[in-house]
Structure 1
């Protein structure tokens, strides 16, 4: 059963357009001996694994960096990125649907399902509703139905 919170998933073009609207800058990530800039709007979700964070990108690629999820959370845009569970942060631009059941799950357009912790469920729903409202109020954004 799918929730009605997400009327339709955003297209790649809409994500690119909204990245400009939300002023999503590039994210500088540390690598072995150098730093690399990654476009923040191409991150679908981040997954915490101890002292490391695994990035899942829209093109299907993954990247692990040696920073905790908590440190990464502070570097991300709070308008677009939410933390529904202690192990994951998701990008609302890639939200496909919310699936209720025994355990609430957020479905992403890449096919991933992320559990929403019981303690964070009501806050997560409020964040999604707020994000959807903000999309509706944007003058220059006109989603394709």
Structure 2
């Protein structure tokens, strides 16, 4: 019996498939989502963050604000200030007050493993 390894390709809608490890940030804007990549230009799709968020549960993504879903692998925990997290490419993102504790906990856990 062959076990299949989990794929890193995520189908965000019928035509859009992305590699989860290349996505740094997802930014919601009403009915559209902008997908930011580590390399390359951002991609805008006509899907809400609420529909995309369950697809990312098997990867290191966390919704840190009503507008943002962050890939924790690209967050720089040494630059986590009161309500701003800085990505490795010096982009600053607002963290909601209610998600700060969970973000800090997940960042500490990801450093342990």
TM-score bucket (shorter structure): 0.7 to 0.9
Per the alignment, residue 141 of structure 1 pairs with none
Secondary structure of 2:10's aligned partner = strand
Long gaps (5+) in structure 2 = none
Moved over 6 A (4+): none
- Cα deviation, 1:76-113, whole Å, max 9, x if unaligned, reads 1354001111100110111123332xx42111112211
Measure how far apart 1:37 and its partner are: 2.2
Match of 1:99 among 56, 62, 80: 80
Which residue, out of 84, 91, 98, partners 1:112? 91
Aligned positions of 1:1-145 closer than 5 A: 23=6, 25-30=8-13, 35-97=15-77, 98-100=79-81, 103-133=82-112, 135=113
Please tell me whether Structure 1 or Structure 2 has the larger radius of gyration of its CA atoms: 1
CA contact (8 A) 2:65 2:94 kept: yes
8 Å contact kept, 1:79–1:131: no
Length-normalised TM-score, structure 2: 0.83
Q: Which has the higher contact order (CA 8 A, sep 6+)?
A: 1
Calculate the TM-score normalised by the size of structure 1: 0.66
SS of 2:24's partner is strand
